[in-house]
């Protein structure tokens, strides 16, 4: 598998990673016999609508750009983002959307091709905007709610919706120069306020929150690539700031992750049967970047700026996101950015649902057919 992956590439020569021929036991791929009323009894095939809030990693800046095409980083390859990107099929590119399409070919909302958030025909429900930080999440949440309500092809009351959130890179890149305002508490409160909007406005919704990534990892790629270092000066000040140690960055990322964990554990978003927030912590504890067999950084993971993810990086991250969604709370695995050829998980027969805090404790209560 590993060999296949490294050789696989798209027509325009950008490395990618797919899961050709992947499927699960037919029973596990079916929709529930009747539309679930509980968010803890959601089979993957029950998801009809997907959307996302986020920054340039959700807009997928540069994901489809060739290695030396630095200007390509300005292009938003929304269709390739690891969460709601719907370009190609799972055979060629791994994203949460491409996996969900296998379960429900009528899935709606995923983004395709390139373009900004306000181009409905391509962005659909991917509301992520390059440069966004946690303080922009409420605005994006309101924008997403408006899109869900305004589009007649969506039955936003009755259809099950999955909203993915990944935010914080830009908070972290400016954190060292705004120590008073860019606190982890502030970060949590910003996400909380956005999820409150979703909770108030959207029935039948599961919010999937990808936990913060440690940006000190980027320094491992920069070490051998002076060009990257230079670009990061403008993209991510605190990453290249010599006064900021790796440890400081790692600790701050950990704090952000803890605060996200608090949001889930508080139970604030577990008060209705048809809404929950679930954290996918696969970035927590990642200690290395993607490497080639000889140990050097595998730059296919990155876009040409060595900061954003390339198509291949989005696929690796997409696989880890999906696998976390299939794993019960408390037993979710940490990502390895170097692809180990590990499989894409299927729902478990004993609990064939997207795992939530509640069905991770006692799945039998939520069993349906």
Ligand X SMILES: *[C@@H]1O[C@H](CO)[C@@H](O)[C@H](O)[C@H]1NC(C)=O
Footprint of ligand X (CB under 6 A): 287-288, 336, 338, 340
Annotation marks residue 23 as catalytic: no
Catalytic residue among 16, 48, 171, 222: 171
Annotation marks residue 273 as catalytic: no
Catalytic residue among 56, 95, 134, 216: 56
Q: How far is the CB of 282 from ligand X (least distance, A)?
A: 13
Closer CB to ligand X, 235 or 284, in the complex? 284
Closer CB to ligand X, 242 or 341, in the complex? 341
Annotation marks residue 314 as catalytic: no
Residue 286 near residue 337 (C-beta atoms within 8 A):
yes
Closer CB to ligand X, 250 or 336, in the complex? 336
Cα 123 to Cα 77, 90, 273, distances in angstroms: 10, 19, 30
Q: How far is the CB of 313 from ligand X (least distance, A)?
A: 15
Of all residues in the shown chain, the one whose CB is closest to ligand X is 336
Burial, 362: exposed, middle or buried (Cβ in 10 Å; 0-12, 13-18, 19+)? exposed
Closer CB to ligand X, 290 or 321, in the complex? 290
Residue 52 near residue 94 (C-beta atoms within 8 A):
no
User: What are the structure tokens assigned to 244, written together?
Assistant: 């900021």
CA distance 96 to 296: 28
Calculate the dihedral angle through the C-alpha atoms of 153, 158, 159, 164, rounding to the nearest 10 degrees. 110
User: What are the structure tokens assigned to 108, written together?
Assistant: 């709606």
Q: For tokens 């595998």, what's the residue?
A: 298
Q: How far is the CB of 304 from ligand X (least distance, A)?
A: 24
Q: How far is the CB of 19 from ligand X (least distance, A)?
A: 17
Burial, 306: exposed, middle or buried (Cβ in 10 Å; 0-12, 13-18, 19+)? buried
CA distance 261 to 60: 25
CA atoms within 13 A on the CB side of 73: 19
Q: How far is the CB of 344 from ligand X (least distance, A)?
A: 16
User: What are the structure tokens assigned to 162, written together?
Assistant: 């999955």
Bridge partners, residue 295, by sequence: none
Closer CB to ligand X, 34 or 340, in the complex? 340
Catalytic residue among 308, 314, 315, 360: 308
Catalytic residues: 56, 171, 308
């Amino acid at each position: 598998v590993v060999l296949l992956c490294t050789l696989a590439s798209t027509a325009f020569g950008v490395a990618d990673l797919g899961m050709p021929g992947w499927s699960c036991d037919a029973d596990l791929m079916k929709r529930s016999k009747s539309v679930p009323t509980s968010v803890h009894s959601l089979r993957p095939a029950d998801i009809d609508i997907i959307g996302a809030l986020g920054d340039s990693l959700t807009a997928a800046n540069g994901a489809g750009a060739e290695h030396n095409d630095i200007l390509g980083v300005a292009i938003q390859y929304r269709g390739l983002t690891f969460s709601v990107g719907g370009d190609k099929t799972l055979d060629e590119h791994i994203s949460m959307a491409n996996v969900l399409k296998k379960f429900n070919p009528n899935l709606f909302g995923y983004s395709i091709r390139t373009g900004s958030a306000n181009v409905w025909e391509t962005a659909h429900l991917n509301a992520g905007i390059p440069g966004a930080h946690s303080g922009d999440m409420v605005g994006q949440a309101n924008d997403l709610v408006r899109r869900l309500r305004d589009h007649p092809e969506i039955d936003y009351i009755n259809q099950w919706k999955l909203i993915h959130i990944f935010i914080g890179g830009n908070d972290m890149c400016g954190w060292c120069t705004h120590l008073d305002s860019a606190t982890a508490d502030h970060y949590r409160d910003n996400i909380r306020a956005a999820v409150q909007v979703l909770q108030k406005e959207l029935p039948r919704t599961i919010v999937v929150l990808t936990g913060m990534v440690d940006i000190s990892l980027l320094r491992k790629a920069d070490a051998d690539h002076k060009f990257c270092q230079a670009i990061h000066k403008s993209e991510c000040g605190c990453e290249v700031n010599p006064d900021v140690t790796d440890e400081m960055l790692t600790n701050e990322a950990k704090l952000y992750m803890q605060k996200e964990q608090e949001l889930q554990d508080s139970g604030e978003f577990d008060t209705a049967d048809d809404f929950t927030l679930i954290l996918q912590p696969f970035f927590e504890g990642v200690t290395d970047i993607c490497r080639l067999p000889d140990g050097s950084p595998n730059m296919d993971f990155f876009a040409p700026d060595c900061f954003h993810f390339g198509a291949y990086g989005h696929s690796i991250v997409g696989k880890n996101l999906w696998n976390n969604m299939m794993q019960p709370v408390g037993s979710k695995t940490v990502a390895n950015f170097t692809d180990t050829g590990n499989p894409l998980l299927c729902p478990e027969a004993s609990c064939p649902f997207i795992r939530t805090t509640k069905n991770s404790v006692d799945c039998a209560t939520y069993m349906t057919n």
